[in-house]
Amino acid sequence: MRIESERERWDRKYAAGEGPAHFKPKPFLTRHHQMLGGGRALDVACGFGGNALYLASLGYRVDAVDASGFALGKVKAEAARRGLPVTLVQADLIRWWVPPARYNLIVVFFYLNRALMPALAAGLRPGGLLFQANRNARFLAVRPGFDPDYLLQPGELGRRARAVGLEVVHDTDSTPGKRTGEDHDSQLIARQPG
Domains in the chain: ranges and CATH = 6-191 (3.40.50.150)
Residue 10: its pLDDT value, please? 63
Confidence tier at 184 by pLDDT (50, 70, 90):
confident
Position 87 scores a pLDDT of: 97
Question: Which is it for strands 40-44 and 61-66: parallel, antiparallel or unpaired?
Answer: parallel
Helices 69-82 & 50-57 angle (0-180, nearest 10)? 30
Over the stretch 103-154, which tens digit does the pLDDT of each residue have?
999 999 999 999 999 999 999 999 999 999 999 998 888 889 989 999 999 8
Sign of the C-alpha dihedral, residues 140, 145, 149, 150?
negative
Residue 34 CB contacts under 8 Å (≥ 6 apart), including other chains: none
- Taking only the tens place, the pLDDT of each residue in 41-94 is 999 999 999 999 999 999 999 999 999 999 999 999 999 999 999 999 999 888
What are the residue ranges of helices labelled H in 16-86? 27-31, 50-57, 69-82
What is the pLDDT, as a whole number, of residue 20? 62
More confidently predicted of 15 and 138:
138
